Amino acid sequence: MKITIIGTGYVGLVTGACLAELGNDVFCLDVDQHKIDMLNNGGIPIHEAGLEEIVARNRAAGRLQFSTDVAASVAHGDIQFIAVGTPPDEDGSADLQYVLAAARNIGRHMTGFKVVVDKSTVPVGTADRVRLAIEGELTARQSDPQQCPVTFSVVSNPEFLKEGAAVEDFMRPDRIVIGCDDTSEGQLAHAMMKNLYKPFNRNHERTFWMDVRSAEFTKYAANAMLATRISFMNEMASLADKVGVDIEAVRHGIGSDPRIGHSFLYAGCGYGGSCFPKDVQALERTAGAYGQELMILRAVEAVNNQQKHVLGQKIVARFGDDLSGKHFALWGLAFKPNTDDMREASSRVLLRELIQRGATVAVYDPVAMPEAKRVLALDLGPTFDQQRIRFAHNAMDALTGADALAIVTEWKTFRSPDFAQLKAQLKTPVIFDGRNLYEPDAMADAGFEYHGIGRSVLTRT
C-alpha cells in the first residue's frame, strides 16, 4: 500500500519505518529541512533501539523516502497519517496547530479519495476539526458548484508506543485501536485500514474497532491510568518513609493481586517524557471545557510535581540547605532508560535545585549527554557553565571526589556496578537512589549510607 507519514518525529518515524518494513511504499514528510537531510544521509534524529537499521534497510530497498515536498506527499499516499507534535499550549491543552496545518495541506492538494489518520495524540473532537479543515480547503478549490467533490474519511488510530521499545511495540502490538465513522467513506476507510494492519492479526485479532471519539479518548484514558498508578505508588512511598514501611515489599504484596498487577507500580522520583505529563494536563483541560473537574488526575499531576523534588529534599536533609562547596555525582539524565528524551525529566529538577543551592555536579548518562547539554543550557541560563556541571566520560568518572551519588534514571548499566570501586571514588559513601535499584541491607553491609524512595525501614548507617 502507498502510505504517507506527516511528521518524522518519534511517532512518525517509527510508524513510517515499521510500515515500510512490512512491504508498504512509505513517503515521510517533514517541514524541517535539516531533519530530512539528516535522514536522507543515513542519520537518525532520535535514539530508539533497532530503528536505525530498519530505516537504512528500507531506504536501500526503495520502500522509504523522506522529503519536504508537501504536494508530492499528498499525491503519494492513499492513507495519510498525521503524526506531528501536539505540545501543551499555555493553558495545558493540546496545541493542534500542526495537526490542522497538515489537514489543510491535504485538502489543498488531494485529487482523489484519501484516508486521513490522526496518529498524533489528540483530544476528543479533533477528527471533526480535521474534517472541517480539509473541507474548507476543498471548498475553496471548487470553482464549479456542480463539480463532483473529492471525498475522504478521517480515522483515529492512536499510538501506544513506549519510548525505548517503540519498534518492538509497533511490530508486536498488544492492541490496535481504530476509530471510523459509519458513512460510506468510513466503511471504505475501515476496509483500507483493515488491510493495512492485516499482518498484525494473523495469529489473533488485535484490532479494536470503535467510533472516532472513543478512539481519541482511549489514548488519553490509557496514559492517565498509567500515570495514576505511578503517582499512587509515589504517594504511598512518601508515607512509607514516615511510618517505617518497605515500599518494595508492599509493591510485591499488592502486585501479586491479578486485579492490580505489577506494571507501573515502581516508586521513584517522578515520571516525565513527552506523553504522561502533557496528556494528563490535556485531559484535565478537556474536562474543564465541559464543566467537569477531574479531581483524581489533578492529584496525580500534583503528586508527580512534588515527587520530582524528593531526591533534592533528601540531599538537603542530609547535607543542609547550603550546598556551597559540596560536589555530587548524578547517574541518569533521560526521563527513562533506552532513550535520550529529556522532556520533563526528573534530573532537570534535581540539577536546578543543587546548582541553585551552590553545589557542583558531575553527570553521566549512557545516551542523553548531547541532548542534556542543550536542555540544561536552556534550563539554567546564566548559571549553566562547565565549571558547575561537568559531563563525565563514564559512570565511574562522574564519582571522583563526590560527596554523594544520586541515581535518577534506571539504566541497566547502573544496576550492578563495582561497589568497591564506587565506594573508593566517593568522598563519603552516600547514595540517594531515586529508582530503588539497590537493596538497602546489602548497601549497609557494603558500608554505604543508603537513601531510597520509601525504604527507610531498612536503612542502616
The catalytic site residues sit at 275
Contact by Cβ (8 Å): 404, 397:
no
Contact by Cβ (8 Å): 443, 431:
yes
Grid-cell match 562547596, residue found: 325
Scored b (16 or more CB within 10 A) or e, 170-205 reads: beebeebbbbbbeeebbebbbebbeebbeebeeeee
Report the C-alpha gap between 157 and 122 in whole angstroms: 10
Rg (CA), the chain: 24
Contact by Cβ (8 Å): 1, 27:
no
Give the torsion sign (CA, 3, 5, 10, 11).
negative
Please report, as a single letter, which amino acid is at residue 233.
Answer: M
Express the helix, strand and coil content of the chain in percent, nearest 5 each.
45, 15, 40
Contact by Cβ (8 Å): 158, 282:
no
Contact by Cβ (8 Å): 419, 386:
no
Report the C-alpha gap between 231 and 73 in whole angstroms: 42
Contacts of 431 (CB under 8 A, 6+ apart): 404, 405, 406, 407, 438, 443, 448, 449, 450, 451
Separation of CA 127 from chain center: 23
The sheet that has 430-433: what strands, in order across it?
A: 389-391, 360-364, 327-331, 404-407, 430-433, 449-451
How is residue 364 written as a grid cell?
A: 553521566
Report the C-alpha gap between 394 and 403 in whole angstroms: 18
Report the C-alpha gap between 174 and 160 in whole angstroms: 9
Angle CA 49–53–58, to nearest 5: 130
Contact by Cβ (8 Å): 343, 275:
no
Report the C-alpha gap between 292 and 307 in whole angstroms: 26
